[in-house]
Structure 1
């Protein structure tokens, strides 16, 4: 009788030990699924690890985003550091662009310098003038025309504005003649108004009649 009772105790104790282990295993297995928070990884993924592989356009977008974060009452701790990294990379590329284009400037010509957002006119390797612009959607707003004081503006300015209008028209870029010098050119040479988008041409002509 004692032997039977001892055996039954051994049999009963075995499933209890198994049942006690199962909750520990299931609880341990569920822990990794609920504890990690995905938010930090998402925030880190929004800022590139290597800025050298990011396009210049994307760099400027990220720079604007970082600047807006800094403008808050309580900006994130890493916002200033990231903003400085972005500005440093953009400035580094500007220096490289200047170095790369130096041999090209030995020739006369015209180009759209998208990095500096300006149309540039060269003569014998020297930039004689440029027109600063700002992209607003599909429109290029011509902001300011600048002529190197070492050159005669009477000769340079018409050539500069003419090249800007022809180049923009060829590339199907809608220009907005906000710059007073560009508007003066279109007043003196009305035949070039045909290169403007229809809505801008009507606005210009209406302003000239007033």
Structure 2
């Protein structure tokens, strides 16, 4: 499954989309139209204040659960924040737990705030 993550500043969230492949040929040999449909699979909401991004809520549509999309979303969102040179405040338990499992991202959380987030 192809995915892409995009920042949606109007909604203050990073969004993950899946790309569905066309259906295979039917019984009569007819091919499905060559359309690649994208569908919103989840999002990570945030709030920006100064040089910090507070992640407040992450949600993956239950239809896409168990496929690793939450991790892909977290990684892409945190990488984007890193590229912008901002710090992360992981109020969202999913983002906080993901950072704890991926220590290479702990440096995004200000050192004086890590204890508060148990990182």
The normalised TM-score by structure 1 is 0.43
**Residue 151 of structure 1 corresponds to which residue in structure 2?**
64
- How many residue pairs are counted as aligned between the two chains? 100
Q: 2:27 is matched with which residue?
A: none
- The Cα shift of 1:123 comes to 1.4
Q: Distance in 2 between matches of 1:202 and 1:155?
A: 31
The residue correspondences of 1:130-209 to structure 2 (distance < 5 A) are 130-153=43-66, 155-194=68-107, 196-197=108-109, 199=110, 201-205=111-115, 207-208=117-118
Query: Contact 2:8–2:14 (CA<8 Å) still a contact in 1?
Result: yes
After TM superposition, the runs of 4+ consecutive aligned structure 1 residues lying more than 3 A away are none
Greater fraction of residues in strand: 2
Q: Structure 1 residues 128 and 139, CA, compared in 2 at 3 Å: closer, same or farther?
A: same
Measure the CA separation in 1 of the matches of 2:14 and 2:70.
12
> For the residues of structure 1 that align with 2:63 and 2:77, how far apart are their CA atoms?
21
Instruction: Check 1:183–1:154 CA distance in 2 against 1; reply closer, same or farther (3 A cut).
Output: farther
Report how far residue 108 of structure 1 moved. 3.5
The answer (yes or no) to whether the contact 2:45–2:58 under 8 Å persists in 1 is yes
Bigger fraction of residues in helix: 1
Given the two structures, how large is their TM-score scaled by the length of structure 2?
0.72
Q: Which runs of 5+ in 1 are unaligned?
A: 1-106
| 1:204 to 1:131, Cα distance in 2 relative to 1, 3 A | same
After superposition, the CA RMSD in angstroms is 2.1
